[in-house]
């Protein structure tokens, strides 16, 4: 493999918790522009927000997490590593190279998950189509019919009461 052939890298870095959120976004954009200016391509960039660290890093118990996946030459990685060392707000970083096997496994997982979603959606649609009419609907119609009979009985009781002197018998 040639040394200048682009590879896929992912970096996760933690920014000091006292840095304002606007500055966090600016720092993330600076790193993305460093990648593109160095001949790389940004694949994915996410700001995860402020999270608690597993252990304190120089008196900091939490920090802003930022993830960046990019394609670039190994020389670009050296520039990014030096940027991390010189940037004041970055308290910790990790940069990983993804080999072809890892990328293939990740792609298979993504395809498998999409297939599961499609099959569950299709199964849900089939269930809705294949369901027979529910029995409670028939029971509701029967109850409404029974209600009409009760109403007729109430009207008869009212008529009888009016004829007998106005008292309605207790039901």
pTM of the predicted model, to two decimals?
A: 0.61
Is 168 part of a structural domain of the chain? Answer: no
Helix then strand then coil, in percent of the chain rounded to 5, is 55, 30, 20
28: in domain = yes
Q: Is residue 156 part of a domain?
A: no
Instruction: Indicate if 44 and 123 belong to the same structural domain.
Output: no
Q: 91 and 118, same structural domain?
A: no
Domain around 105: 99-148
* Claim to verify: residue 92 and residue 118 sit in the same structural domain: no
Check if the beta carbon of residue 9 is closer than 8 Å to that of residue 96.
yes
- Structural domains counted in the chain: 2
Statement to judge: residues 87 and 13 lie in one domain:
yes
Span 46-81, pLDDT tens digits: 999 899 988 888 888 899 999 999 999 888 999 999
* Domain containing residue 88: CATH number: 3.30.70.60
Over the stretch 94-116, which tens digit does the pLDDT of each residue have? 999 988 888 888 889 989 998 88
- Over residues 81-89, the mean pLDDT reads 91
Q: Look at residue 164 and tell me if it is in a domain.
A: no
Counting Cα atoms < 13 Å in the Cβ hemisphere of 69 gives 6
Cβ neighbours of residue 11 closer than 8 Å, sequence gap 6 or more: 31, 67, 68, 69, 70, 80, 93, 94, 95, 96
Q: With 60 as the cut, is the pLDDT of residue 139 above it?
A: no
């Amino acid at each position: 493999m040639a040394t200048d052939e682009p590879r896929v890298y992912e970096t996760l870095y933690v920014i000091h918790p006292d840095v304002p959120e606007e500055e966090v976004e600016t720092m993330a954009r600076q790193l993305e522009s460093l990648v593109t200016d160095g001949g790389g391509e940004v694949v994915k960039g996410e700001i995860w927000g402020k999270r608690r660290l597993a252990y304190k890093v120089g008196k900091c118990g939490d920090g802003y997490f930022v993830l960046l996946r990019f394609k670039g030459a190994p020389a670009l990685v050296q520039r990014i590593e030096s940027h991390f060392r010189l940037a004041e707000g970055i308290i910790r970083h990790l940069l990983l190279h993804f080999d072809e096997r890892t990328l293939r496994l990740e792609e298979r997982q993504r395809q498998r998950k999409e297939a599961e979603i499609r099959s569950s959606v299709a199964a849900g649609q089939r269930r809705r189509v294949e369901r027979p009419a529910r029995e409670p609907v028939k029971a509701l119609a029967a109850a409404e019919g029974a209600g009409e009979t009760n109403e007729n009985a109430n009207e008869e009781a009212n008529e009888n009461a009016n004829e007998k002197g106005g008292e309605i018998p207790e039901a």
